[in-house]
Structure 1
Amino acid sequence: MKVLITGGGGFIGSTIASRCADAGIDVVILDNLVTGRIEFAQRFPFYRGDIADEALVDTIFVEHPDIEATVHCAALIVVGDSVTSPVAYYDNNVVKALTLISSLLRNGCTRFLFSSSAAVYASDDGGCVEERSVIAPQSPYARSKAHFESMLADIVAATNLSAVSLRYFNPVGTDPELRSGLQSARPTHALGKLFEAHTTGTPFAVAGTDWPTRDGSGVRDYVHVWDLADAHIRALERFDRITADSTRTTVVNLGSGRGTTVWELVRAFEEVLGHAVVVRTSSRRPGDTAGAYASNTLAAQLLGWVPSRTLEAGIEDTARWLAVRESRLTWSTFHDAHLHGHHV
């Protein structure tokens, strides 16, 4: 099998690419490197460009006519940024993604695996959510994911496209072999901010302490990114079977199945690292929610997938990656642009 991974130079896309390679699945990567890293993409046939560049997508399929499926990971993902720059988020996550779908249909690639988000749920109490739970996104980022899912269902109904939307919860950790990891030196999610506080000696902010949860802080479901990548392999292997019903579109949660509050995350971090973190509290941020954790029942039924790695393992693996990150991200763009005849 050969797959196209859009956004394959990013944290999750590159991890999926490595897991595919380990499983004997050939990978082609398309990434504009706005947030992705060429160091993560260059191990594979790599095309630098935008998902809305129809001529480039056509070229990819001319040169790789045996691509059987697309894993769409190319998206803007920072909730706070989406609040201040909603046009950019709707443009990239909806408009350009629709152009990509048109290109895929034109080239006869009708299996589409979509990186969606648990942010689409009405996460108002920190509880468990199923795929049929209420959809009520609270930020432009989350709404862009929900809008695209709705459009995807309409497209599937009218064309020969089949689609699986995987609603990610909160990925942590890294590829066990450290082939890639968090590409940003200043990640915006809670675990990244904890590591920043740990290394700089600055306080870690617990944003919101009045949520309706067991200790007042927000709840998140931290799923190890290698478990997440494994779910994609299973979805690709079972794709035709799980989209065989009349709708040909399926939505599946991917989380650890365990809710962790921010205070509990801090304690787990301190235990793993053996180092106390200075904490301060702050008010809720725009777009924040109380959070939720996943019911993985459908993932187990359809994909045969049960996550196996703990939050503590995710913290340990993130620490291993951050220890080598700078040495892994030292390639020059000019040098990489001329490797292996890849298109940049």
Structure 2
Amino acid sequence: MAVLITGGAGYIGSHMAHALRDAGEPAVVLDDLSTGDRNAVPDGVPLVIGDVADANLVLRTIEDHGVDAVAHFAARISAPDSVRDPLGYYAANTAKTRDLLAAVVASRARHVIFSSTAAVYGREPPTPTPETAPCAPASPYGLSKLMSEWILRDTAAAHDLTYVTLRYFNVAGADPAGRTGQRAPEAANLITVAARAALGLNEGLSIFGDGLPTPDGTGVRDYIHVSDLADAHVAALRHLRRGGENLTLNCGYGRGYSVKEVVEAVRRVTGGDFPVRRDASRPGDPYVSIADASLIRDRLGWRPERADLDRIVADALRWERSWWPTQTRRPAPAGRRVG
């Protein structure tokens, strides 16, 4: 049986596609290529171009490829952008998840792995944050994902469907083998933008928020290597196929780094420097976001292999150094959206 990966031509989805290939699991990617890149899909993995809300296309893809599980990555992902465009986020993230699940229920597929976010916990969650913490999203992005979680939970209760929801903390890095990484010019993840600044691909970066109630005044995040995250999805798939129960799990390491610490790590790994600007904090961003990741280790037996900030930075830098010289487009200016 195969896995349908929605958004599989994107950053995290393409790492999942490679992880499944490495594990000998057949997969098929569904992506509208609005932000994804067809070249991110591994050789030998079919790419179906289209919308996850197209029920006929989803049903046909599941039938044609013998799909029994769906890993749903397709979404819009910026909390600040969602404050400016809430209707767009509710349409892309919540409404389309509902439409996708309706097609899944009507199909042979019986397992769903859902890509969620630590943004469901809000601006001031307990530290570290367990899955039982109250959900109080501070942005339409976080709320769009939380509503999708509810839709998935209620759908599974009413139908023959099982699921694992994975709440990502801050995903960074790139495939250690150099097969895929962050390809989006407008990517706003701090490590990505700092790496691009260090390589001279953009003109420095902005720190959004200085003087916050944290040890050094800048935001603190739990950074997880994207390949460890992909491995967590493979573990979730195996759990569901074994008949495991529905789960909602944090994906992080349980260790936080401030923006200033990340900047220093990038400088340390590159041996260079780049300009850093100060700017106001962004709407919808928490001050501190650190996972209590004990449950995923216990329930899925997940053991991350790359839980080191310098390793994450080095893999991101290696990808950026090899990828951008081959492209005619350039990364977006760093000062716009980095936090």
Residues 242, 250 of structure 1: 8 Å contact kept: no
8 Å contact from structure 2 (residues 209, 279) kept in 1: yes
- Is the 1:156–1:163 Cα contact (8 Å) retained in structure 2? yes
Partner of 2:220: 219
| Aligned partner of 2:257 among 244, 256, 260 | 260
In terms of mean alpha carbon deviation, does 174-183 or 199-208 score higher? 199-208
Measured after TM superposition, the shift of residue 276 of structure 1 is 2.1
Gaps of 5+ in 2: 329-339
Partner Cα distance (2:263, 2:238) in 1: 37
TM-score, normalised with respect to structure 1: 0.90
Q: Which residue of 2 aligns with 1:116?
A: 116
- Alignment of 1:311 onto 2:309: yes
Shift of 1:125: 6.4
2-side partners of 1:96 and 1:237: how far apart? Answer: 26
* Contact 2:14–2:42 (CA under 8 A) maintained in structure 1: no
The alignment partner of 2:317 has SS state of helix
Distance of 1:163 and 1:200 partners within structure 2:
40
Match of 2:135 in 1: 135
**How much has 1:296 moved relative to structure 2?**
1.3
- Structure 1 residue 183: deviation in Å? 1.5
Alignment of 1:1-344 (within 5 A): 1-41=1-41, 43=43, 44-64=45-65, 66-124=66-124, 127-198=127-198, 199-200=200-201, 202-241=203-242, 243-244=244-245, 249-309=246-306, 310-326=308-324
Equivalent residue letter for 1:212: P
Q: Identity of counterpart residues, as a percentage? A: 39
Any idea what SS the aligned residue of 2:112 has? Answer: strand
Aligned partners of 1:254 and 1:328: how far apart in 2? 32
Distance in 2 between the 1:35 and 1:320 partners? 22
- Structure 1 contact 173–317 (Cα < 8 Å) conserved: yes
TM-score by length of 2: 0.91
Q: What secondary structure sits across from 1:154 in the alignment? A: helix
What SS class does the counterpart of residue 14 from structure 1 fall into? helix
Instruction: Describe the SS at the equivalent of 1:287.
Output: coil
| AA in 2 matched with 1:228 | L
Tell me the distance in 1 between the aligned counterparts of 2:19 and 2:204: 36
The answer (yes or no) to whether the contact 1:126–1:219 under 8 Å persists in 2 is no
CA deviations on 1:145-186 (whole Å, 9 max, x unpaired) are: 111111211111111111110011111111112111102123
Question: What is the CA deviation profile of residues 176-221 of structure 1, one whole-angstrom value per residue up to 9, with x for unaligned ones?
Answer: 1211110212311211221233215634211111222111111111
Letter in 2 for 1:111: H
After superposition, the Cα gap between the structure-2 partners of 1:18 and 1:201, relative to the gap in structure 1 and judged at 3 Å, is closer
Kept in 2, the 8 Å contact 1:17–1:27? The answer is: yes
Change (3 A) 1:94 1:125: closer
Q: Deviations over 1:239-274 (max 9, x none)?
A: 145743xxxx31011112211111111111111111
Gaps of 5+ in 1: 331-344
Distance 1:329 1:68, change over 3 A: farther
